[in-house]
Amino acid sequence: MIIDYAKIYVKAGDGGNGAVAFRREKYVPKGGPSGGNGGNGGSIIFIADGNLSTLLDFRYKRKIVAEDGAAGGNSLKDGRAGKDVIIKVPPGTVVKDAESGEILLDLDEVGKEVVFLKGGMGGKGNSNFATPTNQTPRYAQPGRPGKEMNIILELKLIADIGLVGFPNAGKSTLISVVSAARPKIADYPFTTLEPNLGIVKYKDYKSFVIADIPGIIEGAHAGKGLGHKFLKHIERTKILLILIESTVEDPQKEFDVLMKELSEFSEVLREKTKVIAFTKSDLLAEDEKKKLSGMKIKGYDNKIFVISAVAQEGITNLLDYLWNFLKT
């Protein structure tokens, strides 16, 4: 099961205190200051790990604290720096401030590494404060505290194409035919309960990624159905492939409802390039297929495809069109 949301507390390590110490040497009655510096606190570092696909680990680990720096010692010995904590998350993870909702970090590339919270600096020992007029300073700096905050981790899948449609529009069937993904397929609505990613192997070792999310219904942007929970997963896609059943009475109405839900959820989705494909064409006569392919949909200017994933009709032409769009 994909876990795409987590709220956790993170804290960088505190810096170690500087030391107040003096040399104790034989035959040197008044040794000078010899307090060492405190070590820096450990930092909180995020890395986008391509081997991860869910935020499941953070369901059980909600508090992450880096190690504090050690205090300075005598004989000018500096304290050891605290160990950094590396937090590995799936590519596509967004880090938000839990209080304001502000996006602080976007780990949108595999291998991306960012120091999120830097550890507190260690304090200086009294050996740093000796002057000609104060040769035996009896004070040192305390270490600085590490930054801390509550954050939200939100996963947005990275894909080239997002499938959008009402329940039973044929999204899962299509992704299972064009890729190695094996989502649950059945003849009842909301078969898909979580997003699925499929890698489409295109001609001559080329490939692109398709994301399938649960079906959208009217009112999805306000929380109805399941699709609203996963609309964020198609915000990163370059193209939205709109799937509409070829047997519906009013294709224009279906398209308008889908566009309204996408627009209400996100301005980003409203501006995405869209391609319409009428599915389940194996249920139609040839003249009905031609009528659909030539249909004018208000608010849509690209080519219309009429396909059947089950019968493999129109799939190659659709993939060619999508690939050419992705290249440009």
Beginning with the edge strand found earlier in the chain, give each strand of the sheet holding 113-117 in spatial order.
85-89, 44-48, 113-117
Residue 226 pLDDT grade (very low, low, confident, very high; cuts 50, 70, 90): very low
- Give the domain extent around 177: 161-327
| Averaged pLDDT of the chain | 87
Higher pLDDT, 241 or 169: 241
What CATH number is associated with residue 254? 3.40.50.300
Residue 49 has pLDDT above 90, yes or no: yes
Amino acid occupying residue 215: G
Residue 186 pLDDT grade (very low, low, confident, very high; cuts 50, 70, 90): very low
How many domains, in total, are found in the chain? 2
Q: Are residues 119 and 246 in the same domain?
A: no
The answer to whether 153 and 59 have CB atoms below 8 angstroms apart is: no
The last residue of a domain, from among 93, 127, 155: 155
Residue 30 has pLDDT above 80, yes or no: no
Q: Are residues 73 and 205 in the same domain?
A: no
Q: Are residues 201 and 256 in the same domain?
A: yes
- 101 burial level (CB within 10 Å; 0-12, 13-18, 19+): exposed
Q: Are residues 174 and 314 in the same domain?
A: yes
Question: Which are the contacts of 52, defined by CB distance < 8 A and separation ≥ 6?
Answer: 88, 89, 90, 91
- CA–chain centroid gap for 177, Å, is 27
The answer to whether 141 and 123 have CB atoms below 8 angstroms apart is: yes
Higher pLDDT, 210 or 188: 210
Which pLDDT does position 183 carry in this prediction? Answer: 45
Which pLDDT does position 120 carry in this prediction? Answer: 97
Q: What is the pLDDT of residues 133-179, one digit of tens each?
A: 888 899 999 999 999 999 999 998 888 999 998 888 888 889 888 88
Which pLDDT does position 201 carry in this prediction? Answer: 87
User: Residue length, the chain?
Assistant: 328
The last residue of a domain, from among 118, 138, 155: 155
Q: Is 289 helix (H, G, I), strand (E, B) or coil?
A: helix
Residue 217 pLDDT grade (very low, low, confident, very high; cuts 50, 70, 90): low
Q: Are residues 188 and 228 in the same domain?
A: yes
Residue 190 has pLDDT above 90, yes or no: no
Residue 20 pLDDT grade (very low, low, confident, very high; cuts 50, 70, 90): very high
Q: Are residues 176 and 314 in the same domain?
A: yes
Q: Which helix (H) or strand (E) holds 89?
A: strand 85-89
Q: Are residues 140 and 231 in the same domain?
A: no
Q: What is the pLDDT of residues 94-103, one digit of tens each?
A: 999 999 999 9
Residue 211 has pLDDT above 80, yes or no: yes
The last residue of a domain, from among 123, 155, 187: 155
Q: Are residues 13 and 70 in the same domain?
A: yes
Residue 69 has pLDDT above 70, yes or no: yes
Q: Are residues 74 and 217 in the same domain?
A: no
What average pLDDT does the segment 41-51 reach?
96
Specify the pTM: 0.76
- 24 burial level (CB within 10 Å; 0-12, 13-18, 19+): exposed
Q: How far apart are alpha carbons 293 and 313 in whole angstroms?
A: 13
What CATH number is associated with residue 72? 2.70.210.12
What average pLDDT does the segment 307-316 reach?
92
The answer to whether 122 and 172 have CB atoms below 8 angstroms apart is: no
Q: Are residues 309 and 286 in the same domain?
A: yes
Q: Are residues 16 and 77 in the same domain?
A: yes
Q: Are residues 245 and 321 in the same domain?
A: yes
